[in-house]
Chain A
Amino acid sequence: MAKAERILIVDDDEDAADFAARFLKSEGYEVRRAGSGPEALRLVARRPFDLVLLDVRMPAMDGSQVLDELLAGPRAPAVLVFTGDHGADPRIRAMTRRSAGIVLKPFKLNELRRLIQRALKGRAR
């Protein structure tokens, strides 16, 4: 079996991040968590990720700023916007346009599976 794809979950909400991490681990991914934007960027700088699940509303650094940094860096990961806000919020729409997609919290597990697979496939190309 090929080496597991690396996923970074960036979310300041402990419970949401905790569940997502356990679920994705159980799906066979290698998962790391970051509670803030700066922490996420440190982890990414240390070792690249294949995919980032990125919350929008976070203290210290807003999701869209983190997205800028992620996309600007070498070996940019696929990014899925990961939010509890309305998907039609102009700020979120703008982020979604620059990402591989959006996961609205709460989500159906199959929906998350499908979106992650698609995002990873898109990146492999």
Chain B
Amino acid sequence: MSGRKNPLSAAQAPAADTFKILAEESPNVIFINKMGSVVYANKKAVDLMGYSREEFYAPDFDFMSLVAPEFHARTRRNLKMHMRGREVPPFEYAIMTKDGRKIEAIIATKLVAYEGGAAILGVVTDVSRLKRAEAQLRRSEERWRSLLEQSVSHITIVGPDERIEFMNRRPSGRDVREAVGRPICEFMAPESHPALRAAIRRAFMGREPSTLELIAEVKGRRWWFQTHVGPICDGDSVHSVVLSSVDITDAKKAEDGLRQAQKLASLGRLSAGLAHEINNPLSALSGEVQMVLERARDPKLAASLRFMGRVSSRIENIVKGLLEFSRQDPAADRQPVRIHDVLERTLKLVERRMRLAGIRVVQRYGRPMPLLHANRGQLEQVFMNVILNSRDAMPGGGVLTVSTRKAPGGFVEVAVSDTGAGIAREHLDHVFEPFFSTKDPGRGTGLGLPISHGIVSRHGGTIRISSEAGRGARVFVRLPVAHGGNGKGNGKG
């Protein structure tokens, strides 16, 4: 501005009075300082600084009293530069009012000719309001940021292309920067895609918020979320969508565990009832066959009756399995048991079968392990079932790893993992149900894992399987440590 020519021609130049009025009514402080004395101060100067014009114009008025002390040096320097005829760029400083308030301001000064001499024309703009607003904005931004960062909710902002624009945290704890810019569905379980896409679309189109349950999945690990999806509006348009999610994984798992336990309990009752109902007529049938066989003279008839006897035995075994599965009583005949002895014995029994199947057995035992108070035979049955299942999952050979460790809460954990085909996610929930089998018909009774589950439960333990199709399976058996079992392994008889 300063370098530009006055756009008004001389003929049209307003009278000096007009400038005076302009100066008087300016929203900025305007003053003229000649040789250190104030020779003009406008109305705003009077209003803002609190001095009357008489005070400003008094010969002994100290100009520097208008400047906050920390800016005195700078102001003196500027004044000196002006005296030498040099211009000074505008700068931010603070003025002092008569009643001692400090006001942030910007001052622009210019050398002018005034009543036959050089003077300094100053324009002071009060920027205290602006500064306050700025600080407020900064504080507000800080507040939002820490709110997002410290929120237990997972906040994700997604653009119209379903890509992540912002994310406050990731369930896996991994760096959020890896996720920003990527499509959100990359981090979700496939079964959650349709519902999530629909909710995002709805938020963008209809601006309708929705609440849904989503499953996040990264590298086979899953997290359950209760998620609210809503639009972020900018005037009339929705520019992104915010997903606010609460992690409900623990509750979900507890709920699933409870549902699983209830399901198995009711299947147990059904099995017990069914077995009882079958055993009564079956005892008549099998007895009759035996009785007739004992008296049969005709070899053909005897052969036929023996065949019936074999079929009857098969039914008896199935029903026996059902009864075994349905047992609720705490395991009986318990004694102090070393878990490694149980595993050694079981592995010895299957050694030949493993070799024939081309399976290498790896043992990784934690030591020392506390004693268990358990029914040794039943535990052997559990690990026999688990290990033979692993063998069946590795028809082309592989590696079977049996490891042990102490688990929190007074448990011993045995993990049996294989390198087989694994178990599809949709099958995992059913592996402990009687007769649920994906094996070829005729392989196994379909009761191995259900009975193992029953045995472990009746010992006060848990059995759990984790697997991904194509990545093998891991079975975790947790059994409670005997009271007083403290890892020394020298159990009483």
| Cβ B275 vs Cβ A84 within 8 A | yes
Asked if B283 and A108 sit within 8 Å, CB to CB, the answer is: no
Residues of chain B within 8 A (CB-CB) of A105 are: 279-280, 282-283
10 CB < 8 A contacts A-B: A15-B284, A16-B280, A16-B283, A19-B291, A86-B272, A86-B327, A105-B279, A106-B282, A106-B312, A109-B290
A85: contacting residue among B272, B282, B284, B316, CB under 8 A: B272
Contact A19 B284, CB 8 Å, known A90-B329, A109-B291: yes
Q: Mark B272-287, 1 if CB is under 8 A from A, else 0.
A: 1001111111111111
Contacts of B282 in A (CB 8 A): 105-106
Contact (Cβ within 8 A) B280 A23: no
A-side contacts of B275, CB under 8 Å: 84-86
Chain A residues contacting B291 (CB-CB under 8 Å) are 19, 22-23, 26, 109
Choose from B277, B287, B316, B329 the contact partner of A23 (Cβ within 8 Å): B287
A23 CB contacts on chain B under 8 angstroms: 287, 291
Residues of B within 8 A of A86 (CB): 272, 275, 323-324, 326-327
Contacts of A93 in B (CB 8 A): 329
Q: How far is the CA of A18 from the CA of B280 in the complex (A)?
A: 11
A9-25 contacts to B (CB < 8 Å): 11, 13, 15-16, 18-20, 22-23
B332 within 8 A of A: yes
Residue of A22, A57, A89, A106 near B283 (CB, 8 A) is A106
Q: Are A15 and B332 interface neighbours, CB within 8 A?
A: no
Q: Which residues of B contact A89 (CB under 8 A)?
A: 327, 329
Alpha-carbon distance A102/B285, docked complex (angstroms): 20
Determine the chain A residues whose CB is within 8 A of the CB of B312 once the complex forms.
Answer: 106
Residues of chain B within 8 A of A11, CB atoms compared: 280
Measured between beta carbons, the chain A residues less than 8 angstroms from B283 are: 16, 19-20, 84, 105-107
A23 to B295, CA, bound (A): 12
Q: Mark A72-108, 1 if CB is under 8 A from B, else 0.
A: 0000000000001110111001000000000001111
Check B288 for interface membership: any CB of A closer than 8 A.
yes
Q: Give the secondary structure class of B's interface.
A: helix
Measured as residues with beta carbon below 8 angstroms from the partner, the interface class of chain B is: 20 to 34
B332 near A109 with CB under 8 A, answer: no
Q: What residue in chain B is nearest A103 (Cβ atoms)? A: B283
B294 within 8 A of A: yes
A-B interface, 10 closest residue pairs, ranked by CB to CB distance from nearest? A84-B279, A105-B283, A106-B283, A13-B280, A19-B284, A15-B284, A86-B323, A106-B286, A16-B280, A19-B287
Contact A18 B284 (CB under 8 A): yes
Residues of chain B within 8 A of A108, CB atoms compared: 290
A80 to chain B, nearest CB (A): 14
Query: A105 to B285, alpha carbons, bound, how many Å?
Result: 11
B287 pairs with A106, CB closer than 8 A: yes
Across the interface, do A88 and B284 meet the contact criterion of CB distance under 8 Å? no
Residues of A within 8 A of B332 (CB): 88
Q: Which residues of B contact A22 (CB under 8 A)?
A: 291
Residue of A nearest to B322 (CB): A86
| Chain A, residue nearest B276 (CB) | A84
> Binary interface profile of B, 207-251, with partner A (CB < 8 Å = 1, else 0)?
000000000000000000000000000000000000000000000
Instruction: Identify A16's interface contact among B284, B294, B316, B327, CB under 8 A.
Output: B284
Least Cβ distance of A92 to chain B in Å?
10
Within the complex, the shortest CB–CB distance from A106 to chain B, in Å, comes to 4
Q: How far is the CB of A93 from chain B (nearest CB, A)?
A: 8
A15 touches B290 (CB 8 A): no
- CB contacts under 8 Å to B, within A46-85, are 57, 84-85
Tell me the minimal C-beta distance from B222 to chain A in angstroms. Answer: 38
Complex formed: what's the CA distance from A86 to B332 in Å?
Answer: 13
Q: Distance (Å) between the CB of A16 and the closest chain B CB?
A: 4
Report the separation of the CA atoms of residues A39 and B294 in the bound assembly, to the nearest whole angstrom: 33
Contact B294 A106 (CB under 8 A): no
Q: B294 near A109 (CB under 8 angstroms)?
A: yes
For the complex, what is the distance from the CA of A10 to the CA of B277, rounded to whole Å? 16
Question: Nearest CB to that of A87 among chain B residues?
Answer: B323
Q: Which of B276, B288, B294, B323 contacts A19 (CB 8 A)?
A: B288
Q: How far is the CA of A84 from the CA of B274 in the complex (A)?
A: 10
Q: Kindly report which residue of chain A lies nearest to residue B287, judged by CB atoms.
A: A19
> Is the beta-carbon distance between B327 and A15 smaller than 8 angstroms?
no
Asked if residues A109 and B287 are in contact (CB atoms below 8 Å), the reply is yes
A109 proximity list for chain B (CB < 8 A): 287, 290-291, 294
* Chain B residues with CB below 8 A from A85, complex form: 272, 275-276, 279, 323
**B276 and A57 within 8 A (CB):** yes
In the complex formed, the residue of B with least CB distance to A107 is B283
- Residue of A at shortest CB range from B315? A106
Contacts of A13 in B (CB 8 A): 280-281
Residue of A nearest to B332 (CB): A88
User: 1/0 per position for B42-86, CB-CB distance to A under 8 A?
Assistant: 000000000000000000000000000000000000000000000
Given A84-B276, A84-B279, 5 extra CB contacts under 8 A: A15-B284, A16-B280, A20-B287, A86-B326, A88-B332
